[in-house]
Amino acid sequence: MPVSQFDIDDGPHNMDGLRLLAMEGAQPVEAFISRKVMDVWVGSIERDGGRQSLFRRQYTALGKANIESLRRIVSTKYQRGAAFNRQHPFVEVLFADITESGEALDLSGLVREPLPPAFHRLG
């Protein structure tokens, strides 16, 4: 059965990445894409040399703009079952899963914010 009611958790949580919530019938399904994986995915598309890590509001906005692609990636990995997801029904999306899926990430809404002065290197 495919996952349904797929959504981005944009509420408060302490996970360093994109938390996704879905249902399989009455069974809650949680998926997660780490900030590092999102950074690599974005970096694999960007050609301007921007290697700045994404801020939470940026990867959340990217997730919302690409919800259907993410739903397909999570659904595919989830449907493989516990043999491929040791923490089933929790699904951790890896960059290998994204690459295998062939899904494209729409970066048209990505706005790179300048780093606060405290993050700039001195010297």
pLDDT digits (tens, 9 = 90+) for 56-86: 888 899 999 999 999 999 999 998 887 776 6
For residue 88, give its domain range. 4-119
Number of domains in the chain: 1
Nearest-10 crossing angle of helices 56-65, 35-45: 70
Three-state secondary-structure class, residue 108:
coil
- Cα gap 95→72, rounded to integer Å: 14
- Phi/psi region, residue 14 (left: phi>0; alpha: psi -120 to 50; beta: rest), is alpha
How confident is the model over 24-66, as pLDDT tens digits? 888 899 999 999 999 888 887 766 555 678 888 888 999 999 9
Query: Looking at the predicted structure, is the pLDDT value of residue 11 above 90?
Result: no
